[in-house]
Structure 1
Amino acid sequence: MKILVVGGHGTIGKRVVETLLQKDKVIVAGRKKGDVLVDIADSASIEKMFKEIGNVDAIVCIAGEAKWADFSVLSEEDHYIGIKSKMMGQVNLVRIGQHYLNQDGSFTLTTGILAEDPVVRTTSAAMVNGAIHSFVKAAALELTRGRRINVVAAGMVEDAYEKYKDFFPGHNPVPMRKVVNGYVRSIYGKGNGAIIRIYE
Structure 2
Amino acid sequence: MKILIIGGNGTIGKTVASYFKKNNDTLIAGRTKGDVTVDIADGNSIKSMFEKIGKVDAIVCIAGEAKWDDFNRLTEDDYYIGLKSKLMGQVNLVRIGQNYLNSKGSITLSTGILADDPVVKTTSAAMVNGGIHSFVRAVALEIENGIRVNVVSSGMVEDAYEKYKDYFPGHNPIPMKKVINGYVRSVNGKGNGEIIRIYD
Q: TM-score, normalised by structure 1?
A: 0.99
- Measure how far apart 1:33 and its partner are: 0.4
Indicate the percent of aligned positions where both proteins have the same amino acid.
Answer: 71
- Measure how far apart 1:158 and its partner are: 0.3
Kindly indicate whether residue 98 of structure 2 is the aligned counterpart of residue 95 of structure 1: no
Aligned to 2:133: 133
Kindly indicate whether residue 70 of structure 2 is the aligned counterpart of residue 70 of structure 1: yes
1:59 counterpart SS class: strand
Aligned to 1:49: 49
Structure 2 unaligned spans of 5+: none
Aligned to 2:80: 80
Q: How many residues align?
A: 200
RMSD: 0.4
- Measure how far apart 1:78 and its partner are: 0.1
Aligned to 2:186: 186
Aligned to 1:198: 198
Which stretches of structure 1, 4 residues or more, deviate above 4 A after TM superposition?
A: none
Q: Whole-Å Cα distance in 2 between the matches of residues 88 and 74 of structure 1?
A: 19
Query: CA offsets per residue over residues 80-109 of structure 1, 9 Å max, x none?
Result: 000000000000011000100110100000
2:138 counterpart SS class: helix
- Measure how far apart 1:143 and its partner are: 1.3
* 1:110-149 correspondence to structure 2 within 5 Å: 110-149=110-149
1:146 counterpart SS class: coil
Aligned to 2:4: 4
Q: Whole-Å Cα distance in 1 between the matches of residues 45 and 67 of structure 2?
A: 22
1:118 counterpart SS class: coil
Give the residue type in structure 2 aligned to 1:113: I
Aligned to 2:172: 172
- Measure how far apart 1:50 and its partner are: 0.3
Q: Whole-Å Cα distance in 1 between the matches of residues 50 and 28 of structure 2?
A: 12
Structure 1 unaligned spans of 5+: none
